[in-house]
Amino acid sequence: MRSLLIVTVFISCLIVETVATTLHVGIGQTYPDVSIASRSAMPGDTLLIHEGAYRGTFWIENLNGTDSAWIVIRGVNREAVRFEGGAESLHLSDCSFIRIENFTVTLQTGNGMNIDDAGTIETPTHHISLREISFLSMNATDNNDMLKLSGLDNFSIESCAFYEGSTGGSGIDMVGCHQGRIVQCQFQRMGSNAIQAKGGTQFLKILQNRFIDAGQRAINLGGSTGLQFFRPIDATFEAADIRVYANVFIRSVTPIAYVGSVRIDVANNTIIDPERWVFRILQETVDVSRFELCGNNIFRNNLIVMKSTLSTHVNIGANTAPETFLMTSNLWYMTDNIGRSRPTVPALTESRGIYGLPPLLVSASDFHLSSGSPAIGAGIFVDSLTSDYDGIAYTNPPSIGAFEWQNTSAVWDHSAPSQIALQRIADGWIVTVPPTRQSANISVYDLRGSLVRTLDLPPGTHDVKTSPYHFVIGN
């Protein structure tokens, strides 16, 4: 009887659930800083950081939640909780199942935040989520990154802001990271890169982000990594199997650089006014006995608006395999020299490209498609493409660019007898209004989609004089 009682008590102890606790951090709170609080945290706990400026590097090591009980590190207010100054803010090593959210990181002299595997390549840090964090104004000018990730697997970075990066650094720098998502983030005024993925980084999704003046290479898909830092140590590429979908790029020296990378898919992005190149193909880690040549990559369904100040459409370096690239269904439009819209790169061949047709964007700052845009429904089906920049589902076939057309019923059916016919001529447009209509309203737009004037035309054929840089649509 006594032994039965002991067994019953033992089983009862095993099934007692851990009660999640909130650990309050800050001046006058139970824990003065997040590093000290982390030493008491258990799976399911929340480290709640109260308003204040926290200066210095706060080390968090071997902090592990579980799949069903993540540990949360959260600020009470994104603007009022500030990790300010010092070499770094948080430095996480050998951690797992951690959510980090809702505060500001600013004015660091090293890296803004650092997450790594403590150099134990075989045991990466994993299952880390960052969301709604503002990384602002690095107090550095060298290769200093706002968010440095080394040996991190199964992670997400969502709804974060990266503004004013270090001149020689990145917004997010990844070395040997795998199975990650960077979604709906904003990058502005970066140094070298907004996002860099190198050192064996693989299986990423970069979705629905906005890049404004995002540095030399807004997204550096690959790079140059010391051999001892690769994860895995025997990786044959700098970066591989990355999806770059439905992002908006405004300026930067080049929005996209494929650098020692393979099986990268860059699709349905809107690219506005790149400064020197639309994209680059490079190989900076050269060892043909080990590393694959940069190749077998894709550039498709992208909408590019550019100026004649561009150096070349695509820059191709040595030791690369541009002939293995798939380039298809992109819309290229050079606003001040329409005749130069089409890329002239002998090593690259494009199918289904659209050249020299104005994309009919809503305005100079709104890159949604207007009615009649040649980008509507002109893309090629991408099986892993789901939502556009706004979260709207792409149609099949999709529109070209980061924005799906949301009123597909308004697309002209040119076989219908009531539709208007438009033909471009040297000094304007020939507009034919069918006799089945009483009149037609014609709108003239400039290159950026801003309305210039409207005309009400009766049935018949009309010669509408416009600037060669204007276009018309009819209703």
First to last CA, the chain: 90
Question: Does 248 reside within a domain?
Answer: yes
Which DSSP letter does residue 409 get? G
Q: Of 83, 78, 1, 70, nearest to 34 (Cα)?
A: 83
Question: Does 261 reside within a domain?
Answer: yes
Question: Does 365 reside within a domain?
Answer: yes
Alpha carbons within 13 angstroms on the beta-carbon side of residue 281 total 28
pLDDT at position 463 is 84
pLDDT at position 474 is 65
Which residues have a Cβ under 8 Å from the Cβ of 182 and sit 6 or more positions away?
156, 157, 158, 172, 195, 204, 205, 206, 207, 209
Handedness of CA 303, 312, 298, 291 (dihedral sign): negative
Question: Does 439 reside within a domain?
Answer: yes
Residues 429 and 371 in one domain: no
pLDDT (tens digit per residue) in 9-52: 444 444 445 579 999 999 999 999 999 999 999 999 999 999 99
Which residue numbers in the chain have pLDDT < 70?
1-18, 407-419, 423-427, 445-450, 467-475
Distance between CA atoms of 187 and 167, rounded to whole angstroms?
Answer: 14
Residues 190 and 272 in one domain: yes
Which DSSP letter does residue 311 get? S
Which residues have a Cβ under 8 Å from the Cβ of 382 and sit 6 or more positions away?
245, 265, 267, 268, 300, 301, 398
pLDDT at position 207 is 98
Cβ atoms of 277 and 314 within 8 Å: the answer is yes
Residues 359 and 435 in one domain: no
pLDDT at position 8 is 46
Residues 373 and 257 in one domain: yes
Element (H, E) at 71: strand 71-75
Cβ atoms of 112 and 137 within 8 Å: the answer is no
Q: What is the domain count for the chain?
A: 2
Q: Tokens for 177, please give them.
A: 């990271």
Distance between CA atoms of 99 and 97, rounded to whole angstroms?
Answer: 7
Domain termination site, one of 410, 431, 463? 410
pLDDT at position 466 is 77
Domain termination site, one of 410, 429, 444? 410
Residues 285 and 434 in one domain: no
Residues 363 and 452 in one domain: no
Distance between CA atoms of 83 and 415, rounded to whole angstroms?
Answer: 62
Residues 454 and 372 in one domain: no
Which residue bears the tokens 């020939």? 430
Residues 235 and 176 in one domain: yes
Q: Of 71, 127, 132, 69, nearest to 101 (Cα)?
A: 132
pLDDT at position 415 is 40
Q: Tokens for 272, please give them.
A: 């506005």
Distance between CA atoms of 224 and 306, rounded to whole angstroms?
Answer: 29
Which residue bears the tokens 């002239």? 344
Q: Of 206, 250, 194, nearest to 367 (Cα)?
A: 250
Cβ atoms of 208 and 391 within 8 Å: the answer is yes
Residues 221 and 335 in one domain: yes
Distance between CA atoms of 233 and 248, rounded to whole angstroms?
Answer: 34
Residues 198 and 266 in one domain: yes
Question: Does 297 reside within a domain?
Answer: yes
Residues 269 and 399 in one domain: yes
pLDDT at position 409 is 31
Q: 3-state DSSP call for residue 211?
A: strand
pLDDT at position 445 is 67
Q: What domain range is 432 assigned to?
A: 421-474
Residues 198 and 301 in one domain: yes
pLDDT (tens digit per residue) in 47-95: 999 999 999 999 999 999 999 999 999 999 999 999 999 999 999 999 9
Question: Does 73 reside within a domain?
Answer: no
Question: Does 58 reside within a domain?
Answer: no
Distance between CA atoms of 387 and 26, rounded to whole angstroms?
Answer: 40
Domain termination site, one of 410, 429, 447? 410
Distance between CA atoms of 280 and 312, rounded to whole angstroms?
Answer: 10
Question: Does 122 reside within a domain?
Answer: no
